[in-house]
Structure 1
Amino acid sequence: MSGRDQTSGFNRPRLVVKRVLAKPQYEGDGAVVRRSIGRIELKSLDPFLLLDEFTVSAPAGFPDHPHRGFETVTYMLQGAFTHQDFGGHKGTIRTGDVQWMTAGRGIVHSEMPVEEGTQRGLQLWINLSSKDKMIEPRYQDLLHEDIKKAEKDGVEVRVIAGESMGVQSPVYTRTPTMYLDFTLRPGAQLQQSIPESWNSFVYIIEGEGLFGSINSSPVTAHHVLVLGPGDGLSVWNKSAKLLRFCLGAGGWG
């Protein structure tokens, strides 16, 4: 390919090189997760160690369990979770809120549903570099109203980490990371730049879309898509329903 790709607007558009359907499995105490990154078909995607879409109804949940050497990012799509750790930190995140926890040298905590009905969300694990693995644990909590948003031409983005559509997240990422929640209305198209040296993925929450190439096959909810090398991703919603997905990207420089 010579010059800029006229369809995508990128010199080297990222294409889908692997897709995996996240199938339900039990985790914790009666909770159900759809694991995409971290399952046999996709053991890791450096620096990402795991991605779960969790569905929990009380009394199920995630009782005391340890983490060490990485970060966990919990993004509530529906309902509310209360987090409590052995150091006395306690807090509740609700629909649209994010908790960015740096486990560092180690932490033992629990994550349990607060409300009746179904609690649903995403949890992403991000590896820490060797120099950061033994730092003190810390938290960054983002309320729904504090997550910056932008909207244009039928595309809405919530910027959890990184930058999109001229909007930047206040979250400090020890491992350089982009984490964006996109919603595309029917007929909308997205073009999102991604640093060329970073690995990247898409997780589809709702609807179906064309990713990477307008000639690709539509991909539906609960699939994770590993993106190949390039400088950006193009997405098209050719369906009659909303398309919602998260784009994650990260690297070490």
Structure 2
Amino acid sequence: MSMSNDIEAPRPVVKKIQARPQHEGVGAIVRRSIGRLELKYFDPFLALDEFSVSAPAGFPDHPHRGFETVTYMLQGAMTHEDFAGHKGTIKAGDLQWMTAGKGIVHSEMPAIQGTQKGLQLWINLSSEHKMIQPKYQELLGKDVATVAKDGIEVRVIAGESMGIQSPIYTRTPTMYLDFTLKPNAHLQQAIPPTWNSFVYVLEGEGIFGDSKSSPTTAHHLLLLGSGDGLQVWNASSSSLRFIVVGGKPIGEPVVQFGPFVMNTQEEIDQTIEDYEYYKNGFEEAKHWRSEALSGHDF
């Protein structure tokens, strides 16, 4: 079984990183692959977390500036609130593409009992977009463009695959594809040659880049080298699920202080001052407290 999307220069796997569990938020566990010592930044990607959280743990009120967050639910549901009055719950298969821009303070907390699982990707913004107004794009699972053919199913979160395109607008040009391959399926996925790209394996095991490579299992991130696309084989007897993410490099200096990402230390210092004194985008934070936080004693 194969997909007709021939690539001339397959991208090799140049680095393999195991995402190990660590504590984040309040009582939550994340497996971080991008944004840790082994891989601090992969332009334009700042962080990738596979999170697992059960109430009362979660990610209570916290700020962001200078980048975008993409939250993609795999299991359960999370409720988001922010200081501008936005509130919503995303369930398994749903996603939220949030542009923090000049500033947002929000909370992300479990909406139901049990374990909530998902992915959160941080995408950098260029200097010209870092101070834009915050914006949201939310897509329900039923509205995510999906196609299945030759043992391959893809959910197109951003970008294009197998002839279908996502309605999501990406200010930093980005592709984000969720693939499931049945046993014996072979995938060829085009990736713009000038973009950086990676794979993150969610379930099963697969062979990536070169047919002679050793299989890669869940919770591993694979950095892809240069080329015009990716080849994947599922030689196992069970399904393989993974995401393919690519983005156009920004090529600008990155200075990060926790949830703030700017281009210079001076801009970071200004951001800290803006947040502490409720100005330049953080005005609403002065008197705001999420409903989720008011119900907990953190």
1:44, CA displacement in angstroms? 1.0
* Deviant stretches of 4+, over 3 Å: none
Give secondary structure in 2 for the equivalent of 1:213.
coil
Instruction: Indicate whether 1:30 and 2:27 are aligned.
Output: yes
1:11, CA displacement in angstroms? 1.9
Give the aligned partner of residue 96 of structure 1: 93
Instruction: Indicate whether 1:70 and 2:70 are aligned.
Output: no
Instruction: Indicate whether 1:183 and 2:180 are aligned.
Output: yes
Give secondary structure in 2 for the equivalent of 1:241.
coil
Give the aligned partner of residue 166 of structure 1: 163
Give the aligned partner of residue 285 of structure 2: none
Deviation per residue, 1:178-214 (Å, 9 max, x gap): 0000000011010000000000000000000000010
Aligned AA for 2:12? L
Distance in 2, matches of 1:66 and 1:239, equals 43
Distance in 1, matches of 2:111 and 2:210, equals 42
Distance in 1, matches of 2:160 and 2:182, equals 21
Give the aligned partner of residue 84 of structure 2: 87
1:10, CA displacement in angstroms? 2.3
As a proportion of its length, which structure holds more helix?
A: 2
1:9, CA displacement in angstroms? 3.9
> What is the aligned counterpart of 2:54 among 53, 57, 66?
57
**Number of residue pairs the alignment of both structures matches:** 246
Q: Is the 8 A contact 2:79 2:109 kept in 1?
A: yes
Q: Percent same amino acid at aligned positions?
A: 71
Distance in 1, matches of 2:189 and 2:7, equals 9
Give secondary structure in 2 for the equivalent of 1:50.
strand
Distance in 2, matches of 1:213 and 1:197, equals 20
- 1:138-149 aligned at under 5 Å gives the runs 138-149=135-146
Give the aligned partner of residue 4 of structure 1: none
Give RMSD over aligned pairs. Answer: 1.0
1:252, CA displacement in angstroms? 4.5
Distance in 2, matches of 1:216 and 1:51, equals 24
Distance in 2, matches of 1:208 and 1:68, equals 36
Give the aligned partner of residue 194 of structure 1: 191
Give secondary structure in 2 for the equivalent of 1:11.
coil
Distance in 2, matches of 1:213 and 1:50, equals 26
Aligned AA for 1:112? M
Deviation per residue, 1:30-70 (Å, 9 max, x gap): 00000001111111110000000000000000001111100
Aligned AA for 2:46? L
Distance in 1, matches of 2:64 and 2:222, equals 26
> What is the aligned counterpart of 2:216 among 219, 226, 232?
219
Deviation per residue, 1:117-174 (Å, 9 max, x gap): 1000000000001110000000000000010001110000000000000000000000
Q: Is the 8 A contact 2:23 2:30 kept in 1?
A: yes
Aligned AA for 1:137? P
Distance in 1, matches of 2:221 and 2:23, equals 19
Distance in 1, matches of 2:128 and 2:118, equals 30
Distance in 1, matches of 2:131 and 2:9, equals 37
Deviation per residue, 1:14-42 (Å, 9 max, x gap): 00000000000110000000000111111
> What is the aligned counterpart of 2:107 among 107, 110, 114?
110
If the length of structure 2 is used for normalisation, what is the TM-score? 0.82
Instruction: Indicate whether 1:231 and 2:228 are aligned.
Output: yes
Give the aligned partner of residue 15 of structure 1: 12
Instruction: Indicate whether 1:135 and 2:125 are aligned.
Output: no
Give secondary structure in 1 for the equivalent of 2:118.
strand
As a proportion of its length, which structure holds more strand?
A: 1
